[in-house]
Amino acid sequence: MNTKRIGIIGSGSWATAIAKMVTDNGFTINWWVRQDSNIEYFQKRHHNPHYLRNAYFDVSKIEFSDDVSKVVEGADIVVIAVPSIHLESSLSPLNANAFKGKKVISAVKGVVPKLNILLNEYMAQKFQVPIEDYFTLLGPSHAEEVASEQLSYLTFSGVDTIATTQIAACFNNEYINTIVNNDVFGVQYASIVKNIYALGAGIAHGLEYGDNFLSVYIANCASEMKLLLKAIMEKTGHKCDQVNYSASVYLGDLLVTCYSLHSRNRTFGNMIGKGYSVRAAELEMNMVAEGYNACKCILAINKNINAPLPIITAIYKILWEGADPGETFKEIEKILI
C-alpha cells in the first residue's frame, strides 16, 4: 500500500479524473470540494454530482473537506486543479508556509489572471515554493476518456528528472502511460496557447470551414506556438534539455484540443462562430473555457517577448474587441501557408 497522501485542490472534471487515477492506484487522498452539499452528495452516491458522473469512487479512500488549509496540511503531494481564474481565491486562505516541504503538482492550463504569470511563479512569490518542488501534469488527455479508462498519455515535467519520475509513478497504471521531461516553463505555455488555438478551431467549425482548412489552420498554429515557446525560452533564459516540439505534450495536446468533441475550448469557439456572444456561450456551457482569458494574458506577456502571433491576435480581436468572426477568418486565410 502506498504511504504518501495526495491532496487535490479542485472538484471539476479534470480534478475528478485525477482523483480517479490516484485512488485506483491505492492512494488515500485529501480532496478539497468547495461546497459542503457536494461533499454530502459525493459521500452518499460515490460520484461527483456535477462532473464525470459515471466515475464511481471508493470513498473510504477519500477525506473530503471544504477547508483548503486542512487538505494541504494533511498531504505530502498537492495537486492544484482549478481553473486559472479561480487560483487566487482558492489558495487565499492558506498561510505563506502552507506548502513547506511538500511537492506541488500543477494541473492548471492557464496564466494567473491580472498578474500574467505562470503558477510556479505565483507559488514562488506567495508561498516560497522552490522550482525543485514544483511539477506539471499535462496531456494530451480529456477527463472524460480518463474517467472511462481509455488509454491516455500524461506528461510530467520537473527540473529534477529522478523526482519527476517518482511523481509520475503515482499516476501510471493500465490506462495511464506517463512521460517525463524537464521543460517546466515551455509545457505550461504550450498548454495555455493550445486552448486559444482550439477556440479558433471551434470558430472555424462554426463558420462552416471544412477539414482541409482546419488541417492547414492547425499546422500554422503549431508553427506559431513553436516560435512563441522558443522566444520565451530565449528571453527568460530558462534552460532545459533538447526540446521536441512534435512530442505529445506540445503537438499532441494541440491536436486533441482542436479536434476533439470533448474540448470545451473548441465547443466555446464553435458557439462564437455560429453567432453566440461571449456571454451567451459562457452561460450555455456553464464551464470555463481557459482560452478566452488566456488570449488576453498571452498578448500582455508577449509585449516583452515580441514573438509574431497573428493567429492569437486575430482570436483576441474576435473575443475581446467584438471583431466579426467571418471577416476576421477571411484575414486569417491570407496568412496561412
Q: What is the pLDDT of residues 104-138, one digit of tens each?
A: 999 998 899 889 999 999 999 999 999 999 999 99
Listed in sequence order, the DSSP H helices in the chain are 13-24, 36-45, 68-73, 87-91, 119-127, 143-147, 161-169, 184-206, 211-236, 253-259, 264-273, 278-285, 290-302, 310-320, 325-335
Measured CA angle at 308 (ends 201, 318), to 5 deg: 40
CA separation (Å) from 10 to 48, 127, 176, 232, 268? 12, 18, 21, 29, 22
Residues 170 and 234 in one domain: no
Q: What is the mean pLDDT of residues 252-257?
A: 96
Instruction: Look up cell 477568418; give the residue.
Output: 329
Residue 114: its pLDDT value, please? 87
Domain that holds residue 249: 185-335
In angstroms, how far apart are the furthest CA atoms of the chain? 59
pTM of the complete model: 0.93
The three cell numbers of residue 109 are 492550463
Q: What is the pLDDT of residues 149-201, one digit of tens each?
A: 999 999 999 999 999 999 999 999 999 999 999 999 999 999 999 999 999 99
Distance CA 205, CA 273 (A): 7
ω into 140 cis (within 30 of 0)? yes
Report yes or no on 1 lying in a domain: no
Residue 112: its pLDDT value, please? 92
Residue 248: its pLDDT value, please? 95
pLDDT at 220 over 50: yes
Q: What is the mean pLDDT of residues 265-276?
A: 96
Residues 157 and 220 in one domain: no
Report yes or no on 84 lying in a domain: yes
Query: Burial of 192 by CB count in 10 Å (0-12 exposed, 13-18 middle, 19+ buried)?
Result: buried
CATH number of the domain within which 311 lies:
1.10.1040.10
The CA dihedral of 190, 89, 284, 317, to the nearest 10 degrees, is -50
Our count of domains for the chain comes to 2
Residues 152 and 195 in one domain: no
Residue 1: its pLDDT value, please? 41
Report yes or no on 302 lying in a domain: yes
CA separation (Å) from 121 to 72, 112, 113, 191, 235? 19, 9, 13, 16, 16
Report yes or no on 81 lying in a domain: yes
